[in-house]
Amino acid sequence: MIKTILERIRQGHRTMTWPDGPAPALPARFRGLPTIEAGRCPSGCQECAAVCPTGAIQTTAAGVEVDLGACLFCPECERACPEGAIRFSHDYRLASRTREGLRVGVHPLALAGALDEKLKRLFGRSLKLRQVSAGGCNACEADINVLGTVGWDLGRFGIQIVASPRHADGLIVTGPVTENMRLALEKTYAAVPAPKIVIATGACAISGGPFFECTEQHGGAASTVPVDLFIPGCPPHPITILDGLLRLIGRLETEGRL
């Protein structure tokens, strides 16, 4: 026991300082918010749209538009562009309050704003969420679980994943909502006492992700329950999820910390 205590003292503080301090270093291969240099985009070129596996890219007269809700953050469009007009940045801030707000390129990303004042007073200091895997592959689920580790310590913000929907303030949904999980999602949502919120996490929960053409899924959480926050990614990095959650409860401004 003494050895354990001494080792913990030696190791020191393990929880990251963000958002009070700098964000944790992201790996070189991390792909975040895509940037599009319109001036370098070849006129009439459809190369990026042609290789996108989920049809997340549209080219119009106004320019190239990427639907982050459908994007898998694979590098295929970046590789295909002959002029290097589209690049994935290291910007992890991706969450938006609306589905339309996830469309970037022609317009900037509409970063998530806070809940209205009444809900922010209720949930700003204590937010309990029931996680529902509605047919997910466990990647998004794993990154949500990471937030509960000592390095991230989700609980320090008053946010907790709970076992029962009756003890929850809302749902955090992953997966495309398969036919076999649709009723379970509906019943879980009904069991959460009002007022309540729903957070769609990952491409599957927003648009169906790589399964968007499969007839056994319903294209994400919004097909079944009202969604208050969309967090893109396949899967989203833990810092992307946490950034979205903190913006929702008013703990982060659009560009930084309150």
Rounded to two decimals, the pTM is: 0.93
CATH of the domain at 139: 3.40.50.12280
Indicate whether 128 belongs to any domain: yes
Which one, of 189, 199, 174, lies nearest residue 224 by Cα?
189
Question: Has residue 256 got a pLDDT over 60?
Answer: no
**Average pLDDT, stretch 229-246?**
98
Indicate whether 32 belongs to any domain: no
Q: What pLDDT does 258 receive?
A: 38
Indicate whether 153 belongs to any domain: yes
Q: Which residues of 50-68 are buried (b: 16+ CB within 10 A; e: fewer)?
A: ebbebebbbbeeeebbbbb
* pLDDT tens-place string over residues 78-93: 999 998 999 999 999 9
Which one, of 237, 257, 45, 246, lies nearest residue 142 by Cα?
237
Hey, what amino acid is at 161? I
Q: How many domains does the chain have?
A: 1
Which ranges in the chain belong to alpha helices (H)?
A: 2-11, 47-51, 76-80, 117-123, 139-146, 179-191, 203-207, 238-248
Most confident segment among 76-85, 100-109, 136-145: 136-145
Question: Has residue 257 got a pLDDT over 80?
Answer: no
Q: What pLDDT does 3 receive?
A: 86
Q: What pLDDT does 157 receive?
A: 96
Indicate whether 26 belongs to any domain: no
Q: What pLDDT does 253 receive?
A: 66
* pLDDT tens-place string over residues 182-237: 999 999 999 999 999 999 999 999 999 999 999 999 999 999 999 999 999 999 99
How confident is the prediction for the chain on average, in pLDDT? 93
List beta partners, residue 240: none
Q: Which structural domain range is residue 123 located in? A: 117-248
Indicate whether 192 belongs to any domain: yes
Q: Please measure the distance between the N-terminal and C-terminal CA atoms of the chain and give it in whole angstroms.
A: 41
* pLDDT tens-place string over residues 151-163: 999 999 999 999 9
Indicate whether 4 belongs to any domain: no
Indicate whether 45 belongs to any domain: no
